[in-house]
Structure 1
């Protein structure tokens, strides 16, 4: 999920038919928001981990709420779509050791490092693997950048920095968009590229600011059962081991190799950086318990009256982390804000749309699984859509509602990408709010929630929410509340339902989502990506097949 939303917006003149006008402001039920959020985040749902007994309870509850809201089963008469997953649980994890330097380095699991694998195999053994520092681990020919140039890392362990080389730049200009993270900065990309290069292991150095979260989040997310999509080949084309090490551990590691971590990190920011063999050998290993089980996406629909084969999509993920690292004896990561609140928003909008009556196009409400495991539920749906993506108009993704109160600003992730940005402008203006640039573009929110699964296959989905300029308290209060959530509750047992939450900001945002979706569903516009967006050609090819 993304911790907070913020982005800028670029203007463009649409050459498409106008949207339907005079959409009535909906009656978003605050009681529905409270009830659904409180129920799904209660201890009875055990943190909603996919492929556990808690999943059945979660899925059944969402189906009941969809039915109550007035939806119909959305998968050809069924409420669910099976998502094949494989659960990999590591045990007997050996320390990650580095030999051959001035002093041997031994990093303890969880305390100093975490390690896992995408490979579906009963045992991982990494033994005396040569270690190479590859800077930011990026191979981007279109930007004239290749951290792997001139080095063969097949069978070796690569040490990688998190984020992009220019993440500390102020402003959005630079080889990698300056302060705004590109996909090259995401940890998922870094492991993907390391595997393409043939690395036996890929280890990212954790630093709180460029990673956008503390070590505690890494601990809770990377230990215990890990889920992957169950596909032919068992992911054996991936690196044996992937993981993270603490920043202090990295400094010790480089010192043992006779290198200065800070100096090499600075060098890695420059184009033309050459990977540096550290002269060390890495070893670790662990045993995997493997369990295959399908999880479920939940799908409801309000059928269209004139063009039912064209769909407007609303999405939110229902899963969270289940049982996690205990804090004061509490080991349930309840995921109240993340993302019981988003599912509550999904239900509340469905209820409001049903009450307003059917639209020309169909409206589909999708509660996806396994977002916390790498957007797996939305990825599976996008690759195996119930409703063809070529006929999916676009829509809205909801991941953590604003629970701080009304704000003066509204922010959109993915600056300058989609024409949905222009369509939402008048809706924001009607509320007397302004669209502001992203407060923390270095955190890469665009690549961290389910809209990205659809974007990669051409469908524009709005992922937007209140900013941090609170009506009561201003930006100082908003920044403090946002940072408090990141530091003290995000992916921790403390993300629990609070009866004192202020839902007024969430309601304003949901009004915008409702009105945008309804206008899309009543009209005949097909929003596209801007000309320079990386997903434009995919959308054009998809739409060309049905025109």
Structure 2
């Protein structure tokens, strides 16, 4: 029995020795430290900080020897930035105040009433605001949504939602406890057409070049906000400089090995925090039937609820991908678990969602304790709060667990789109 176990363990041992020389703590820490530095000022879209981050990621992809697309690692696309200048109107017999309204639109002038043909929706007291607001903001038809006054505190956040897509439908949120019989909203906006960029590198497959495996994370964050204890920079060390670092380290690892049978695509997405715009644009560049798997890496810089050498996979039950990853880690100390935070709806809240909704086995890997993460979306999300040793081991585990998928030996089952949401 000892001899049989030794024979089974030898390939895993040899793989571990090779991976330890490529995915190192020092290299992981070097990349993470820069992405989470004050120099990048929180990597908010349309700022110099996110431009510097994109240049840095591109340079690292260049050093690794990844291929470009159309002569560049930058996958650029148009977006719109809008700023409300004035709001007026009424609800039944009451005057509408600007603080009651949030507008998501790329239109310079908005004039609507109950006869304008807008879809009418509401979010009632006690309902899940996050889930309902996300659904409404993704609506394809112009919509006006009336929010219970208990959600009035979210109006500033909705108003500052960020860049808008080319096909963005006008969505208007209004604080009102009931849906009025008559309403009127008039607004003017300053609208500017700008560009955002994902950073994408490619490692062509040897025998299955038209079958793709994607490794992704988002490199944007919240930028500069209200000072807390004198610190106004939201560095986003865990969210998601950690995931982006993992993507870059995996790119270096697979580029060194160059034995991938399927084509590997490494993507750092922009504007995840303001609507997932980068991953939405990215997903439209592919025939989803050719994407065999997507590893989306989000907030892996801290220990999971199970401690070291562990992480969870969102939407675990929606495909066989999790079971394949676990199989490839037999004999190692690392364990993948199903997402324990189902009430947080994480499967639909990250950059895996767009491709998953098209049937791709696209899942997010994370360690974030979403019921108690102390630095989530705070200025305190800095590199000092991370565990670089554990983070490095997580990246190694992802590399090992993906082995049979990138070789073509295993293909995860597709997500059943009829059972989503």
- Which bracket does the TM-score occupy, shorter chain normalised? 0.7 to 0.9
**2:33 is equivalent to residue 38 of structure 1:** yes
| Structure 1 SS opposite 2:260 | coil
Cα offset, 1:449, TM superposition:
0.6
Cα offset, 1:303, TM superposition:
2.5
Q: 2:210 aligns with which of 301, 309, 314?
A: 309
The equivalent of 1:159 in structure 2 is 122
**2:405 is equivalent to residue 520 of structure 1:** yes
Cα offset, 1:428, TM superposition:
5.1
The equivalent of 1:47 in structure 2 is 42
| Structure 2 SS opposite 1:44 | helix
Q: 2:298 aligns with which of 395, 399, 405?
A: 399
**Deviations 1:361-402 (CA, angstroms, capped at 9, x unpaired):** 2221111111112111111111123xx433222131011113
- Relative to structure 1, the CA distance from residue 86 to residue 106 in structure 2 (aligned partners, 3 Å threshold; closer, same or farther) is closer
The farther-off stretch of 425-434 and 455-464 is 425-434
The equivalent of 2:145 in structure 1 is 202
Cα offset, 1:454, TM superposition:
1.2
| Structure 2 SS opposite 1:229 | coil
Cα offset, 1:446, TM superposition:
0.6
The equivalent of 1:492 in structure 2 is 378
The equivalent of 1:389 in structure 2 is 288
Answer 1 or 2: which has greater helix percent. 2
CA distance in 2, matches of 1:298, 1:367: 5
CA contact (8 A) 2:310 2:394 kept: no
**Deviations 1:99-126 (CA, angstroms, capped at 9, x unpaired):** 54xxx687673xxx56122x32113356
CA contact (8 A) 2:302 2:367 kept: no
- Structure 2: gaps (5+ residues): 1-10
CA contact (8 A) 2:358 2:417 kept: no
Cα offset, 1:534, TM superposition:
1.7
- Relative to structure 1, the CA distance from residue 360 to residue 191 in structure 2 (aligned partners, 3 Å threshold; closer, same or farther) is closer
CA contact (8 A) 2:161 2:274 kept: no
CA contact (8 A) 2:334 2:397 kept: no
Q: 2:258 aligns with which of 353, 357, 361?
A: 357
- Relative to structure 1, the CA distance from residue 521 to residue 162 in structure 2 (aligned partners, 3 Å threshold; closer, same or farther) is farther
Q: 1:190 aligns with which of 106, 112, 136?
A: 136
CA distance in 1, matches of 2:296, 2:189: 34
The equivalent of 1:483 in structure 2 is 372
CA distance in 1, matches of 2:364, 2:290: 20
- Relative to structure 1, the CA distance from residue 310 to residue 408 in structure 2 (aligned partners, 3 Å threshold; closer, same or farther) is closer
| Structure 2 SS opposite 1:73 | coil
CA distance in 1, matches of 2:48, 2:391: 31
**Deviations 1:224-250 (CA, angstroms, capped at 9, x unpaired):** 47211124xxx4x544x136x5xxxxx
Cα offset, 1:39, TM superposition:
1.3
CA distance in 2, matches of 1:206, 1:517: 47
Q: Which aligned pairs between 1:221-260 and structure 2 lie closer than 5 A? A: 221-224=157-160, 226-231=162-167, 235=168, 237-239=169-171, 241-242=172-173, 254=177
| Structure 1 SS opposite 2:417 | coil
- Structure 1: gaps (5+ residues): 1-20, 131-152, 168-180, 209-213, 246-252, 255-276, 469-478, 538-547
**Deviations 1:303-348 (CA, angstroms, capped at 9, x unpaired):** 3222333222101111122233443554433222111111111111
The equivalent of 2:103 in structure 1 is 116
Higher relative contact order (CA 8 A, sep 6+): 1
CA contact (8 A) 2:298 2:366 kept: no
